[in-house]
Amino acid sequence: MPFGRAHDRKLISEFVEVYDRRTGESMGHVVDLTYDGLRLFSNRPLIVHEGLVHQLRLVLPTAYGGEKQILVDASGVWCEEDTDVELESYFHTGFRFLRVSAGDNYLIERLMTDYTFPIVNLLKGIVVH
C-alpha cells in the first residue's frame, strides 16, 4: 500500500454499507475509518486509478441529528484480495477522501467515536485507541 496515513485508523464496530451515488449499487461495507479515508470490504475488486473520483454514500447505523448518511467524494488508492477468506473471493479497497462537507466531517467524527473497536497489537497485547 503506497499511501501513508496522517491519522490512525478506527476499526468500525457497526455495519456501515457504502453505495455508489451514481449507480445506487452497493460497493461493500466500511472496515475501518480515518479522518482522511476508509477501507472497504467487498465481494468484487473495485476500480482504482489516478483521477477516478468515486461518489460514495455511507449509510449510518444511527441517525445523528436527523442525518442517516454521509456523502463523500473519494479516490481509490489500493485494492487487494482478502487471502483470509477461503470459500469466496473478497477484496479490501482503500479510499482517500477528496471532498467532505463540514456536516459530513462531523458525522465521520461521531462514527469514529461512537462505533469503533480498539485496535489491539496482538504481538505485544497492547490496546491502541
The per-residue pLDDT for range 73-129, each reduced to its tens digit, is: 999 999 999 887 666 789 999 999 999 999 999 999 998 888 887 655 444 444 444
Q: What is the pLDDT of residue 44?
A: 93
pLDDT of 128: 47
pLDDT of residue 6: 56
Question: What percentage of the chain has pLDDT greater than the value 70?
Answer: 83
Match 468484487 to its residue by C-alpha cell. 44
Domain residue ranges of the chain, discontinuous segments joined by +: 10-128
Averaged pLDDT of the chain:
85
At 105 the pLDDT is 94
* The C-alpha cell that represents 121 in the structure block: 497489537
**CATH classification for the domain delimited by 10-128, as one of 2.40.10.220, 3.30.590.10, 3.20.20.450, 3.40.50.300:** 2.40.10.220
Positive or negative, the CA dihedral 98, 103, 106, 112 is: negative
Mean pLDDT for 64-77 is 91
Nine cell digits for residue 115: 462505533
Q: Measured between alpha carbons, how far is residue 25 from residues 17, 68, 105 in Å?
A: 11, 17, 23
pLDDT over 80 at 2, yes or no: no
Q: Give the mean pLDDT of 12-18.
A: 91
Cα dihedral 6→11→14→16 (10° resolution):
40
